[in-house]
A and B are shown apart, each in its own frame.
Chain A
Amino acid sequence: MKTTLLCALLLLALPLRARPDQSQTDQSQPDQSWSLGQSTLTYHMSHPIHEVDGVSHAARGKGVCHAGQCDFLVAAPVKSFDSGDSNRDLHMLQTTRGAEFPVVTVRFRLPQSTLNQPTLDCDLEIQFAGTTAHYPHVAFHQTIEGPAHHITGVIPSTLTDFKIAAPTFLTVPIKNEIPVRVDMTWSPS
């Protein structure tokens, strides 16, 4: 009986001994890099007689993790956004000064330990139309399937954030809010 009790105590003591090794793993994350696979960025424009979505599948992205911090960069050519109307796309390119500033870039930093969480809280720095805007605490939802991290969310961007004069149609300006829907798949590279 006492021998059994002793064995039980020893078995209970073993996990306590193993725990420090796990905490050591959490503290020191390995360097890692990520690459953006498939992506869909969709801006939505509202006008009293128009609702328009412009879609780009041409975004490129990369992430680098070091010392527990990961820096990410996503970039998409402005002219890659397709609203289904070439005239409107040219007008968008002109309004956003897309020939002078041909790429929209998004930068954010995340702790490496949070990369597998179902919700990612990102502080975004977006360069667009020659202006940099910051969007703190933008939530992205994440689902992980094997190595693929599928991320979705909405960036609550506005025209005034980037000092863009609202284009008009039939002399009526479009709405200031231009939310950008993000749907992308990242994987470790």
Chain B
Amino acid sequence: MAKLLRARIPAVRIVLAGAGVLVLLSLPAPLAGQSAASVSNVAEADLLSLPEAPIPVQSSTSESSSPEASSAGDQTPTPQTPTSNPSQAAQPQPAPPSLGDLGLSPSQTKPDPDLQARLDRHTRMLRIHQRLGLITLAPLAGACITSAFAPPDLKKGKDNATGRDIHLGLGAASVTMYAFTASYAIRAPRVSDQPARGGIKLHKYLIWVHGPGMILTPILGAMAYDQANNGEKVHGIASAHAAVAWTTVAAYGAAIVAVSWPIHVASWKL
């Protein structure tokens, strides 16, 4: 009998070990894949057989769900105690963030219809300014081309009166168009007190070159016109007419390019 028992001891040990493993594996079964509801049921079921604990003044769940509790360093997930308390379920949810939470100043968020109206007028007038400025290029180019036929050819004895008149007409048209173009930029309402930045800055600086040039050129042109019509060689300050005119045209062209700068055409970049 004793021999038989000794022979079966290892088998009994293996059976007991297996049973122990099964118990260990089966213990967490109610917790695996738990939902909030199932957790509360399990918790309640466990609590039924336990004596009542002292009731805390404030539950840990309500502390962890308050917005103040989630501080900057609070990145580690805090375990939430399962509960079936209806007062905790009715806690207000934190509202989604609004503009007021971002700290933007009222001046940044307040609509300004007056400013919008001024911006609309500003843009409308500058659009006309831009179109007139481009149209002005046509008589200006014509005046430059016909300038070759304006002075009398004293060597050949040609007066060139017709060429001079055409040049005069194109020059006058250029100055008139220029005046209209400038008036739209001057009369456009101011919408910002900030200093100009970018290409518009050079565009504005160049006004100080082509603006006086557009006043001086016709004055000098009129003097030269009179001298030529009298059969004289253009002399004195009137002889500066061509130089002033070409400087004015160059500044005017540069002003158009400046406001368009930088220019990209397809794959190449200026």
Chain A positions near chain B (C-beta within 8 angstroms): 2, 5-6, 9-10, 13, 16-17, 19-21, 23-25, 27-33, 48-51, 60-64, 66-67, 71-73, 75, 77, 83-88, 90-91, 93-95, 97-103, 105, 107, 147, 169-171, 187-189
Contact = CB atoms under 8 A, between A and B. Distances in A.
A151 B159 CA distance: 76
Contact of B200 (A27, A29, A86, A171): A86
Contacts of B263: 49-50
Contacts of B64: 30-31
Nearest to B127: A168
A94 B122 contact: yes
21 contacts: A13-B21, A13-B24, A19-B28, A28-B80, A60-B103, A60-B104, A73-B97, A75-B99, A77-B108, A85-B199, A86-B192, A87-B126, A87-B196, A94-B119, A94-B123, A99-B111, A101-B111, A102-B110, A170-B130, A188-B74, A189-B72
Q: Which 3 A-B pairs have the closest CB atoms?
A: A85-B198, A99-B116, A71-B96
A2 B14 contact: yes
A103 B34 contact: no
B27 interface: yes
B236 interface: no
B260 A169 contact: yes
B46 interface: no
Given A30-B77, A86-B192, A188-B72, A99 B115 contact: yes
B108 A100 contact: no
B67 A31 contact: yes
A174 to B, nearest CB: 12
A2 B192 CA distance: 88
A86 B200 CA distance: 7
Given A13-B21, A100-B111, A103-B109, 12 more contacts: A13-B25, A17-B24, A24-B34, A50-B264, A86-B197, A87-B199, A90-B119, A93-B119, A102-B109, A102-B111, A147-B72, A188-B73
Interface in B55-113: 64-67, 69-70, 72-75, 77-80, 93-99, 101-104, 108-113
B134 A170 contact: yes
Nearest to A9: B21
